[in-house]
Amino acid sequence: MPEKTGPVGGPGLLVELDRDAELPLHEQLERSLRESIQAGRLAAGARLPSSRALAREVGVSRGVVTEAYSQLSAEGYLLSRQGAPVRVARTVRAPAPRPSARSLLPSFPYHFNPGTPDLAGFPRDRWLRSLRAAWRQAPIDAVGYPDPRGVPALRQTLAEYLGRVRGAAAEPEQMLICTGFTQAFSLLCRWLAGRGVERIGLEDPGWHQHRLIVEAAGLEVVPVAVDAEGIRVDELEAAAVSAVVVTAAHQFPTGAVLSRERRAALVEWAEEGERLIVEDDFDAEYRYAGGGLGAVQGLAPERVALIGSASKRLTPGMRLGWALLPSWLAWSLAEAKTVEDRGSEAVGQLALRDFVERGELDRHIRRMRSRYERRRATLLDCLARRLPQARVVEGGAGLYELVELPEGTDEAALVAAAAERGVGVEGLSLHRFVSGGPPGLVLGFACLAEPQIEHGIRLLADALP
């Protein structure tokens, strides 16, 4: 005997029926549906279950449902046509829908975004092949709660990749798969804060997102100056911090490569005080000229957390990153991730593994590197012609170039004037903490085709006073 009152749940529709009430069941059903439509809980255009399905769920005869449906159709609440599912009429006045808030991310016709690779270059068909293979081959457990550290097979594959390409000392057991760089760094910062760490060194100028994450974790930012050889380790020594973030392979935003001497000094600083280096390895594979240097992590695996992601190497939308951690940190962060999200989606990880193992990642990076090389050449050429007063601080790597502007240029006014012309650029001051220095722009070139770069730089030049 069903309960006396209460809406009957189920995957179909929530309706309230009282079997002891005077009101016939079909009228109760009508009333309930009508109220749901009026309140907007059943939206205009929404599909209703078939009368058979609803009858079964609610535990009434099918006739009760068809009667209710036909009454509500007659009243104009529902649309029912032979052979088509019953839907809520489009004309029903629900509470005025609020306009959708814009995305939190700005959008420009010419967006020189330093953090975005060429999204159109992402090989969807090949990715979909890997995704299909992963779904076909994944064991049943792969759709259960995942290993919170990440799928073991992917950790193995990424460890091999990072050893081969980044010279990392990559131990799969000390790797944590995360939602991009951001989650790994955020977990790490909160772990530090929870152990009494109060301050962390950040490169200045440096990526402003580092600062946002650090501050959200309750840590204080200690800015450490950067020069042409990367972070000033002498300043770091004076700063009295126990952890620092470096972009050693390609400093953001200056493009500096951390020199051999500085690497040695940085590692010594970490070793002697049992300190932690967080190495943000965001785009090291994109190098257009000259030699690069392996990850600092390879020199001192117990003192460095190497954090990288698929964001610049493939696409940010994948939201897959990895942290290669010192042994003393690996299980603590795995535990923190377990409590905070119980691990990242597993089959996508298996797809990434397949993609790397097939050699697709290598091929993609090679293809993108020559594409970016051309785009970069176009950018440098356009800047030389249209903005001769700008000094390009050539990094020879990555997805962006830093451009310094003549002293006295009003950087904020230029950024605003460019935005008015549909050109999105980031001012250097966005990424400065306390450091002084000339005004400048950080110009991403990876996500714009050559004609867009040309036109965008022309518009940017027009925006100069």
- For a copy of itself, the binding residues in 100-129 under the rule CB under 8 A are 100-101, 103-105, 115-116, 119-120, 122, 124, 127-128
Tell me which residue of 150, 154, 147 sits closest to 353, measured CA to CA: 154
For residue 394, give the H/E element and its range.
Answer: none
Q: Which residues in 126-165 contact a copy of itself (CB under 8 A)?
A: 127-128, 131-132, 135, 140-149, 152, 159-160, 163-165
Interacting residue with a copy of itself among 170, 278, 324, 415 (CB under 8 A): 170
Q: How far is the CB of 365 from a copy of itself (least distance, A)?
A: 4
Compose the 189-228 pattern: x for residues touching a copy of itself by CB under 8 A, - for all others: -----------------------xx--x------------
Q: Which is nearer to a copy of itself, 183 or 378 (CB)?
A: 183
Tell me which residue of 205, 119, 211, 174 sits closest to 439, measured CA to CA: 205
Residue 285 binds a copy of itself, judged by CB under 8 A: yes
Tokens of 227: 């020069």
Contacts of 214 (CB under 8 A, 6+ apart): 189, 200, 202, 220, 221
Is residue 349 within 8 Å of residue 135, measured between CB atoms?
no
Interacting residue with a copy of itself among 26, 34, 166, 376 (CB under 8 A): 166
Q: Which stretch binds a copy of itself (CB under 8 A): 283-291, 382-390, 404-412, 415-423?
A: 283-291
Interacting residue with a copy of itself among 275, 319, 391, 432 (CB under 8 A): 319
Residue 374 binds a copy of itself, judged by CB under 8 A: no
Residue 255 binds a copy of itself, judged by CB under 8 A: no
Q: Which amino acid is at 137?
A: Q
| 178 beta partners | 321
Q: Which is nearer to a copy of itself, 166 or 375 (CB)?
A: 166
17: helix, coil or strand?
coil
The number of residues making up the chain comes to 465
Helices (H) and strands (E) in the chain, counts: 15, 18
CB atoms within 10 A of CB 385: 12
Q: Which stretch binds a copy of itself (CB under 8 A): 224-232, 313-321, 378-386, 410-418?
A: 313-321
Residue 339 binds a copy of itself, judged by CB under 8 A: yes
Residue 419 binds a copy of itself, judged by CB under 8 A: no
Burial (CB count within 10 angstroms: exposed 0-12, middle 13-18, buried 19+), residue 196: exposed
Residue 52 binds a copy of itself, judged by CB under 8 A: no
Is residue 402 within 8 Å of residue 428, measured between CB atoms?
yes
